[in-house]
Amino acid sequence: MVDRVLYANKDIIDKLQNGIKDINYSSTDDPWETYNIINSIINHNKRKDTHFVISPLGTKPQSLGCCILAIEENLDVVYAQPQTYNPNYSEGIGKVYAYLLNINK
C-alpha cells in the first residue's frame, strides 16, 4: 500500500523543493493509530493561519480514524470518488473488524 501511494503521488513529491522530510506511517487496520498520528501532526503544526483538510485515501479503518478526528476537530474532509473499479484491490476474504463508537452530543 505504501508503494502504491508514493507512486501515485510521485509527481507531487518530485516537485517539492526539499522533498518530504517526515513520512508518518500508520497500520492499515488500526483507526486509532491513524487518528493519533494525524492529530499529532495537526497539533505540532497548528498556527492561526493554518487550515487543515483531511483526505482519507487509505484503507477503511484508516479512513475511519481520519473521519473521527475530522468530526472532533471540525476539519474539512475531501473524499475521492473512484471512477473505475479494480477487482485486484479486493481479492479474497480477510479479517473482519467491528469498531464500537460512542458519540456524545
Instruction: Give domain status of residue 96, yes or no.
Output: no
Instruction: Give domain status of residue 10, yes or no.
Output: no
DSSP 13: H
pTM of the complete model: 0.69
Instruction: Give domain status of residue 97, yes or no.
Output: no
Instruction: Give domain status of residue 95, yes or no.
Output: no
What is the tally of structural domains in the chain? 1
How many CB atoms are located within 10 Å of the residue 59 CB? 17
Per-residue model confidence (pLDDT) at position 39: 94
Per-residue model confidence (pLDDT) at position 76: 92
Per-residue model confidence (pLDDT) at position 20: 66
pLDDT tens digit at each of 105 positions of the chain? 567 777 777 777 777 756 666 778 888 889 999 999 999 989 888 777 788 888 888 888 999 999 999 999 999 998 877 778 777 766 777 777 788 887 776
Per-residue model confidence (pLDDT) at position 14: 75
Instruction: Give domain status of residue 8, yes or no.
Output: no
Query: 54: which strand partners?
Result: 77
Runs of H (alpha helix) within 16-92: 31-44, 60-73
Cα–Cα dist 83/81, whole Å? 6
How many CB atoms are located within 10 Å of the residue 63 CB? 18
Q: Which of 59, 67, 3 shows the shortest CA–CA distance to 35?
A: 67
Can you give the residue range of the structural domain that contains 68? 23-83
Instruction: Give domain status of residue 53, yes or no.
Output: yes
Instruction: Give domain status of residue 31, yes or no.
Output: yes
Cα–Cα dist 100/103, whole Å? 10
Instruction: Give domain status of residue 64, yes or no.
Output: yes
C-alpha cell at 71: 468530526
